[in-house]
A and B are shown apart, each in its own frame.
Chain A
Amino acid sequence: MVDAPGDDRWTNAGSVVLGIETSCDETAAACVRGGGDVLSSVVSSQVDLHARYGGVVPEIASRAHNELIIPVTARALFEAGLDGEDVDAVAATTGPGLIGALLVGVSAAKALALAWDVPFISVNHLEAHLYAGFLEEPELKFPLVVLLVSGGHTMLVLMEDHGRYRLLGQTLDDAAGEAFDKVARFLGLGYPGGPAIDSVAMSGDPEAIRFPRSMMDDGLDFSFSGLKTSVVNHVRNNPSVSTEDVAASFQAAVVDVLVAKARRAAQQHGATALALGGGVAANSLLREQFLTACTEDGMHAFLPSRAMCTDNAAMIASAGWYRLRLDGPTSLDCGADPNLRLSTLPA
Chain B
Amino acid sequence: MLILGIETATMQVGCAVGGHEGVLSSVHSAKGKRHAEQLVPSIQFACEQARVELAEIGLVAVDVGPGLFTGLRVGVATAKALAFSLKVPMIGVSSLDLLAFPVRFSNRLIVTAIDARRGELYYACYRQVPGGVQRITDLQIGSPDDLASELLASGEEVLLVGDGAQRHAESFEGLAKVELVDTGNSHPSAAARVELAHARALREEFERPDAIEPVYLRRPDAEINWSTRDGR
A binding-site residues for B, Cβ under 8 Å: 52-53, 57, 59-60, 62-63, 65-67, 69-71, 73-74, 84, 99-100, 103-112, 114-116, 332-336
Contact = CB atoms under 8 A, between A and B. Distances in A.
A48 B85 CA distance: 30
B74 A84 contact: no
Contacts of B214: 63, 66
A1 B82 CA distance: 35
Contacts of B199: none
B209 interface: yes
B43 A114 contact: yes
Contacts of B73: 62-63, 65-66, 100, 103-104, 107
A46 B208 CA distance: 23
Contact of A57 (B38, B54, B55, B222): B222
Contacts, number: 106
B3 to A, nearest CB: 15
A71 B81 CA distance: 10
Q: Indicate the member of A65, A67, A333 with the most B CB atoms within 10 Å.
A: A333
Contacts of A57: 220, 222-223
Interface residues of B, number: 36
A115 B54 contact: yes
Interface in B195-232: 209-210, 213-214, 216, 220-223, 226
A335 B36 contact: yes
Chain B contact surface mostly? helix
6 contacts: A52-B226, A57-B223, A62-B70, A69-B81, A111-B81, A112-B85
Given A70-B209, A111-B81, A59 B221 contact: yes
A108 B70 contact: no
Interface string B61-92: 00000000110011011111110111000000
Given A103-B35, A115-B86, 18 more contacts: A59-B221, A63-B214, A70-B81, A70-B84, A70-B209, A99-B70, A100-B70, A103-B36, A103-B74, A103-B77, A104-B77, A108-B78, A111-B40, A111-B78, A115-B85, A332-B40, A333-B38, A336-B36
Interchain residue pairs A-B with the least CB separation, the first 3: A111-B81, A115-B85, A59-B220
Contact of A114 (B37, B54, B70, B80): B54
